[in-house]
Amino acid sequence: MTEIETNTEKLLTELTDLTLLDADGADVPIASLWQDERGVFVFIRHFG
């Protein structure tokens, strides 16, 4: 396993219990977002 794969597995394990709110305000486990397909998370910080 490469270092990237190892780090990805660690991140996925840490995110397992994290939840987000959907458009209706219901909790959605973040891990369910990539349960059936791959996903990309992009974090953007606005400075201004």
* Domain count across the chain: 1
The pLDDT, as a whole number, for residue 45 is 87
Residues 30 and 20: beta-carbon distance below 8 Å: yes
In tens, the pLDDT along 1-31 reads 899 889 888 887 887 888 989 999 999 998 8
Q: State the distance between the two ends of the chain, measured CA to CA, in whole angstroms.
A: 41
Query: Is the pLDDT assigned to residue 41 strictly greater than 80?
Result: no
Which residue range is the domain that position 26 belongs to? Answer: 1-48
Cα 35 from Cα 33, distance rounded (Å): 6
| Of the candidates 10, 41, 43, 15, the residue with the CA atom closest to the CA atom of residue 30 | 15
